[in-house]
């Protein structure tokens, strides 16, 4: 197992870590290990906005719209003269 030291940790952060560890019934060291493990286990950010939206809202599913039938045929595009 590897060991690390964290230097220059301000007192407020140390105190919040101590309280968080106490809430979870762990030592400060065990809490820091859990926080670090959770931080590196999160998946990487998606490569596009579309992928991020699918990741976030894909489980909800889409919606089906009732589209009325066209009354006229679509015309062709005029690209200039």
What pLDDT digit, counting tens, does each position of 2-35 carry? 899 999 999 999 999 999 999 999 999 999 999 9
Look at residue 69 and tell me if it is in a domain.
no
Look at residue 49 and tell me if it is in a domain.
yes
Q: Tell me the DSSP string of 50-62.
A: HHHHHHHHTTT--
pTM over the 0.75 mark: no
- Domain region containing 27: 11-57
Look at residue 36 and tell me if it is in a domain.
yes
DSSP state of 25: T
Look at residue 79 and tell me if it is in a domain.
no
Residue 52, CB-side half-sphere exposure with 13 Å CA sphere: 6
Look at residue 70 and tell me if it is in a domain.
no
Look at residue 65 and tell me if it is in a domain.
no
Number of domains in the chain: 1
Of all residues in the chain, the percent with pLDDT exceeding 90 is 41
Look at residue 81 and tell me if it is in a domain.
no
Please state, in angstroms and rounded to a whole number, the distance separating the CA atoms of residues 49 and 81.
37
């Amino acid at each position: 197992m590897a060991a690390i030291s964290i230097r220059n940790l301000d007192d407020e952060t140390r105190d919040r870590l101590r309280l968080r560890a106490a809430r979870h019934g762990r030592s400060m060291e065990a809490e820091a290990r859990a926080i670090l493990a959770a931080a590196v286990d999160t998946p990487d950010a998606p490569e596009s906005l579309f992928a991020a939206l699918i990741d976030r809202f894909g489980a909800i599913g889409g919606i089906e719209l009732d589209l009325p039938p066209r009354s006229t045929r679509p015309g062709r595009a005029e690209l200039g003269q």
